[in-house]
Amino acid sequence: MKTNAARILDQQKISYTLLEYEVDPADLAAERAAEKLGLPYEQVFKTLVVRGDRHGICLAVIPANAELDLKALAKATGDRKVDTVPLKEVQPLTGYIRGGVTALGCKKPYPVYLDESAVALERIAVSAGKRGHMLQLSPADYLKAVDAKLGAIQK
């Protein structure tokens, strides 16, 4: 089954592999997705929706087992302060539900910040825009597809 995110990659002629796994709605942690796919935590990236005090909404893409470094992200975005948005705002802002948020095909083209650890990997996995579906692609292709900026944004 193709998701909108996969169709966007098709349009951009970007090569990817669609991965599927069984979802437990009670445990949507990115680490669980990595375990079910048999991938190291560092290779599976989660997308967080963040609001800055000066520049508004952006997306932070970090490894499954990492914590977002809010100060580092604020510096990268030019904000004084950033914080993750409340869960109830995620779907209205992005069009995606928790566990399925991706920078590909959001309601608006938000700025995307990818943790620099991604470029050391041959391939990364990001949400395909639906729970239980991931896209595996090269970090360079992901950067291009979502027009992301690299930064050291994990703790």
CA nearest to 9, candidates 128, 112, 131:
128
Residue 95 has pLDDT above 80, yes or no: yes
Tell me, what's the pLDDT at 49?
98
Mean pLDDT of the chain: 97
* Distance, CA of 135 to CA of 113 (rounded, Å): 18
CATH number for domain 4-151, candidates 3.40.50.10260, 3.90.960.10, 3.90.550.10, 3.40.50.300: 3.90.960.10
Residue 1 has pLDDT above 90, yes or no: no
DSSP conformation letters of 60-88: EEEETT--B-HHHHHHHHT-S-EEEPPHH
Domain ranges of the chain: 4-151
Check residue 13 and give left, alpha or beta (phi > 0: left; psi -120 to 50: alpha). left
Q: Average pLDDT of 63-69?
A: 97
Tell me, what's the pLDDT at 63?
98
The model's pLDDT over 115-140, given as tens digits with 9 standing for 90+, comes to 999 999 999 999 999 999 999 999 99
CB burial string 97-131: b at 16+ within 10 A, e below:
eebbbbbbbbeeebbbbbbebbeeeebbbbbbbbb
Confidence of residue 2 (pLDDT cuts 50, 70, 90): confident
The model's pTM: 0.96
